[in-house]
Chains A and B, each alone.
Chain A
Amino acid sequence: MNAIEVKDVSVYYGNLCAIRDVNLNVKEKEFLGIIGPNGAGKSTLLKVILGLIKPVSGEVRIFGKDLKETNKILGYIPQTSGFDRNFPINVLDVVLMGRLKNRLSLFHRYAKEDMEIVTDLLDKLGLSDVRDRQIGQLSGGQLQRVLIARALAIEPKIILLDEPTASIDANSRSQIYSLLKELNEEMTIVVVTHDLAAVSAYFDSIACLNKELHYHGDKELDEETVEKIYGCPVELIAHGVPHRVFKVHEEGYDD
């Protein structure tokens, strides 16, 4: 069964078409990377899958069901956190949020089980020492791990990450990808990324989006597809994207 089915989805912001007629099936336990230039609609696609944006046409099914019928199956790590880093809240409370039920109940308290799950996650992500720290006082990498912990606290079947390693150092980056690889044994993982090195090392498959979905399949991409998506592959490759991702090795692009 497909974990995610995106059928003929188009999204407009006013008159601006963000994505057009996108079809994408993500298999259960697939580790998928979505690449594409800035403004290609990658974040938009994730938000449609999450139900945060209603598409103009088309539909999204999660494990064959309408998103409304699924309950806390999706975890999400946004590209730009929409929250204020000065908000008076500490790491523990942020991660606990993932344990909230969707039905409002009066005088809700987190159960012992919730605490255990969250404590485990904080351990696993190396955040135990900062659990009482206000979130504004974390490094970029720590904050990113807090957001990952919060998404995992949902105990989701699918996890969507939007450029999770864009603003952090190489060390935290490989830490995060190893963790994802480990989680991949249980979960379907979709990552929007520009990090093609990571794609080749960890991912199963790749999807190329530039308004339309140009490619979805094996991560070993051919040159032609990349050119079609990015328009100007030379420039992109010159910016340090490793060649080994591409099947057709182009000697001429060495910088």
Chain B
Amino acid sequence: MIEAFLQYVFLQRAVYSAVLASIVCGIIGTIIIEKKLVMMSGGIAHTSFGGIGMGFFLKIEPIIGALIFSVLTAIGITTVRRRTNTNSDTLIGIFWAMGMALGILFIAFTPGYPPDISSYLFGDILTVTELDLKIMIALTGLVIFVIVALFNYWKAYLFDEEFSSVIGIKTIFLEYFLFVLIALAIVALIRVVGIILVIALLTIPPAIAKLFTFDLKKMILYAIFLGIVFSFLGLWISYQFNIASGASIILLAGLTYIAAVIIKRS
């Protein structure tokens, strides 16, 4: 596989995007687990399918469509939740299904052959394009910068929102900011594991990391490390056996989680 890596650009891109995805997952995944935003993130991911459909329909890059949809969904859910008494679970369910439905509608109306949407649904790291990679680099850079630069505030906000607002921290601002970051992260991950599986890559590495540390920063770092291991091994399996990378990465991660829990218990 090493020679192949040196020889084929698509493999190089796959490896770079695996590393980027792992970094994003380690950071954002830890946050969504600790802030109990897993379902929310799933909702944003599925809604972005509407954007992918729109991309095909309008003949713009589908990933750009996904970016627009997921950011708007994140802002939308936050705002509606703050303004009304609607339970966010309900809201997420509504956005989730409507996004998917819109995507299907757009694709149905797209003239010509139906586009291949399975790589967006399940991810295919081996087909990552130059543009995808550039978008991922930009998004990953942004996520790292924002989280590192405001780390102490994020920690306070994630741990105890009420106390943070008592000391005058603008928690509403942080909330919107965080949801937009989650949306960006999801878009960065779609090409690697796809809309349906993204939630697994976000949650499994931090969930394993949490078994072994009580420190937020370490949890993030362990999760990034685990993400890299899973995606490299998953990539290798995918390359060797010619199966979708998303599925192999997730299955590997899931089995490791189960093993880790069992080992930890005994």
Interface residues of A (CB under 8 A from B): 14, 50-52, 71-72, 74, 76, 78, 81-84, 87-90, 93-94, 97-98, 100, 102, 104, 106-110, 134, 150, 154
- How far is A187 from B169 in the complex, measured between Cα atoms in Å? 23
Q: From DSSP, what is the main secondary structure of chain B's interface residues?
A: helix
Interface set, chain B 210-236, CB cutoff 8 A to A: 210, 213-216, 218-219
Task: Tell me whether B160 and A83 are in contact (CB under 8 A).
Answer: yes
Chain A residue at minimal CB-CB distance from B215: A88
- B130 within 8 Å of A by Cβ? no
Question: Which residues of chain B have a CB within 8 Å of any CB of chain A?
Answer: 34, 36, 85, 148-153, 155-156, 158-170, 210, 213-216, 218-219
Q: Shortest CB–CB separation between residue A158 and chain B, in angstroms? A: 12
Known: A89-B214, A107-B149, A110-B152. 9 other contacts (CB 8 A): A52-B162, A82-B161, A84-B34, A84-B36, A88-B219, A90-B214, A97-B159, A100-B153, A108-B150
Among A93, A102, A107, which residue has its beta carbon within 8 angstroms of that of B155?
A93
Please measure, in the bound complex, the distance between the C-alpha atom of A89 and the C-alpha atom of B163, giving whole angstroms.
15
In the complex, the chain A residue whose C-beta lies closest to that of B166 is A76
Please name the residue on chain A nearest to B219 by beta carbon: A88
Measured between beta carbons, the chain A residues less than 8 angstroms from B34 are 84, 87-88
Residues of A within 8 A of B155 (CB): 89, 93, 97
Residue of B nearest to A93 (CB): B155
| Pick from B159, B166, B216: contact of A52, CB under 8 Å | B166
Cβ–Cβ contact A102 & B168, under 8 A? yes
Residues of A close to B215: CB separation below 8 A: 88-90
Query: A97 contacts which chain B residues (CB < 8 A)?
Result: 155-156, 159-160, 163-164, 167
Please list the 10 inter-chain residue pairs (A to B) with the smallest Cβ-Cβ separation, ordered nearest first.
A102-B168, A134-B214, A83-B160, A106-B149, A88-B216, A97-B156, A108-B152, A76-B166, A82-B162, A88-B214
With both beta carbons as reference points, the residue of chain B lying nearest to A70 in the complex is identified as B168
Expressed in whole angstroms, the Cα–Cα distance for A175 and B36 within the complex equals 36
CB pair B153–A104 under 8 Å, yes or no, is: yes
Q: Which of A90, A93, A154 has the most CB of B within 10 A?
A: A93
Chain B nearest CB, measured from A54 CB (Å): 12
Closest to A74 in B: B166
C-alpha spacing A181/B164, complex, angstroms: 26
Query: In whole angstroms, how far apart are the Cα atoms of A81 and B162 in the complex?
Result: 9
CB distance from A53 to the nearest CB of B (A): 11
CB pair B149 A72 closer than 8 Å: no
Report chain B residues within 8 Å CB of A52.
Answer: 162, 165-166
Q: A83-B160, A89-B155, A104-B150 are in contact. Are A50 and B216 (CB under 8 A)?
A: no
Residues of A within 8 A of B164 (CB): 97, 100
| A/B interface sample: 17 pairs, CB < 8 A | A14-B85, A50-B166, A76-B166, A82-B161, A82-B162, A88-B219, A90-B215, A100-B156, A100-B167, A100-B169, A102-B168, A102-B169, A104-B150, A104-B170, A108-B150, A108-B151, A134-B214
A88 cross-chain contacts in B, Cβ below 8 A: 34, 210, 213-216, 218-219
Chain B hits for A83, CB < 8 A: 159-160
Give the residue of B148, B167, B218 whose beta carbon is less than 8 angstroms from that of A154: B167
For B217, give the chain A residue with the smallest CB separation: A88
